[in-house]
Amino acid sequence: MLRNLVMTKTALFALALSLLVFCFLFPGCSSIKPLPVAAVVVIDQINLIDVKNRQVVRQQQVELKNGRISAIRPAGAAIEDANAVVIDGLNGYLTPGLFDMHVHLSDPAALQLSLSHGVTHVRVMHGLPAHLKWRDAINHNEMLGSSMTVSSPILSATKRPTTTSVTDATEAKAAVRAAYAEGYDLIKAYGDLSAQSLSAVVTEAAVLRMPVAKHGPHPSGALPWQDLAAMQSLEHVEDIYQGPLHYQQDLAALQEVIEQLKLLQVPVTPTLNIFWQLTAISRDKEAFLATLPQDYISPLIAFEERHNQVERWLQSTDEMATHNAQTLQFLLQITSQLHQAGVPLFVGSDAGALLSPHGLATHTEMQLLQQAGLDSFAVLHAATIAPAKALGLAELAGQIRPGYKADFIYSKENPIIELSVLREPDAVMKSGRWYNAKQLTELRQQAIDGRSLGQELWLILSNY
């Protein structure tokens, strides 16, 4: 991830010069344009996944106008507009487009890869100025990809490249005001902030009506639990184990934490995927890395990860691999107990970290939530309705209803029976534009081929 970049600035500039020359001689396409949207589209003979009411609504017809759902009628209903583009649903299934509420990215290809796997919206949890430009370009249909909610640069007590250093309340308030002025959608508060700093972040963000997400589902220092009540979300169940439980599988202490989170009703993003991935690396080493899709992570970030975090887990002993596997089972247990207690959960994969592939990682997270005991409807709720509500999009996204954006996944098979059918969609509709399976495959390859390493390195250097 960008926050872990450890190359020297001199080396980065030397690499930048080489890459900029290369990109000048061999230019790539830095962005992909969306397909034109038809004025009226009708999808007939289709079954709808109604996540809110936990049911499959069978034999329907969905009408779209200018990228929004305009009507839902029984299948076979008369189509009034003679110029409508009609898609035969072949008795397949429409599922609301997925949200991934915790990703890291350094190039637009990540957004196109995510979309190709049915992830229609991502929350970027380490924002940079370039992300704001990509967000706006997608919103204005100037670029194709998952739409974005972008956090501020991480507010941390430890000074790192691309983060904002915050060591006291004054710096905390200034950082929040700066992020607001620059157009970020929320504040990302790191777990190492002091109680004083975090309290100032929360207070100033409330004045500006700016959401805050915190690394770690627990307070900083002596901060009261109730001071977290206004958070948009709390990230990483791993941090419950590492924080309040002090690396002990202490069920009594865990119950106390869960009781506090139950009272707060602030959503938790487990990010089980990333611990699952480090467990697999520590156990299977290069054999696991060979199973990851090539080029889903940008070459620069892949190089950095490969020589830092990934290398760390490749060096794991058998004892460490066993410990990681046991810890993963405990994290699944924590997630299960959170769900049973009624604590809202989000799907968030931490894609982009530790070579975790964009789009595919979202589905791995969903599978892990199933392993934690959530049924298909509960997992989809954590990937659709719950995120849409938290992001202020509850009347626009997360469901298939009249007036909502036409963002959904088409599958020939029923995802409630087998959620994994959404991993490789038969089609994806984004803002009323239909991409069939062949076009999704082409989109992935175009995204990979169109990367500009010079542009990506400039993004890193300009925020170093």
pLDDT the model gives residue 145: 97
pLDDT the model gives residue 79: 95
- Computed on alpha carbons and rounded to an integer, the radius of gyration of the chain in Å comes to 22
Residue 37: which pLDDT band, with cuts at 50, 70 and 90?
A: confident
pLDDT the model gives residue 421: 98
pLDDT the model gives residue 2: 43
Phi and psi, residue 163, nearest 5° = -110, 165
Asked whether residue 356 carries a pLDDT value surpassing 70, the answer given is yes
Residue 304: which pLDDT band, with cuts at 50, 70 and 90?
A: confident
Asked whether residue 209 carries a pLDDT value surpassing 80, the answer given is yes
Residue 197: which pLDDT band, with cuts at 50, 70 and 90?
A: very high
Residue 457 and residue 19 in contact, taking contact as beta carbons nearer than 8 Å: yes
The stretch 401-417 carries a mean pLDDT of 98
- CA–CA gap between residue 321 and residue 323 (Å, rounded): 5
Cα 89 off chain centre by? 28
- Structure token digits, residue 28: 């790539």
Beta bridge partners of 85: 41
pLDDT the model gives residue 362: 98
pLDDT the model gives residue 457: 72
Asked whether residue 11 carries a pLDDT value surpassing 80, the answer given is no
Residue 302: which pLDDT band, with cuts at 50, 70 and 90?
A: confident
pLDDT the model gives residue 312: 94
- What residues contact 176, with CB distance under 8 A and at least 6 apart? 152, 155, 187, 200, 201, 204, 205, 208, 210
Of 168-172, 257-261, 282-286, 296-300, the poorest mean pLDDT is in: 296-300
**Is this model's pTM higher than 0.85 or not?**
yes
Residue 452: which pLDDT band, with cuts at 50, 70 and 90?
A: confident
Asked whether residue 416 carries a pLDDT value surpassing 70, the answer given is yes
Asked whether residue 34 carries a pLDDT value surpassing 70, the answer given is yes
Asked whether residue 460 carries a pLDDT value surpassing 80, the answer given is no
Asked whether residue 10 carries a pLDDT value surpassing 70, the answer given is no
- What residues contact 4, with CB distance under 8 A and at least 6 apart? 160, 304, 305, 308, 309
pLDDT the model gives residue 19: 44
Residue 347 and residue 383 in contact, taking contact as beta carbons nearer than 8 Å: yes
pLDDT tens, 77-123? 999 899 999 999 999 999 999 999 999 998 999 999 999 999 999 99
pLDDT the model gives residue 277: 97
- CA–CA gap between residue 4 and residue 310 (Å, rounded): 12
Residue 462: which pLDDT band, with cuts at 50, 70 and 90?
A: low
Asked whether residue 20 carries a pLDDT value surpassing 80, the answer given is no
pLDDT the model gives residue 278: 97
The stretch 156-162 carries a mean pLDDT of 89
Residue 215: which pLDDT band, with cuts at 50, 70 and 90?
A: very high
Asked whether residue 398 carries a pLDDT value surpassing 50, the answer given is yes
pLDDT tens, 216-235? 999 998 999 999 999 999 99
Please report, for residues 48, 97, 364, 450, the alpha-carbon distance to residue 368 in angstroms, rounded to integers and kept in the order given.
24, 19, 6, 32
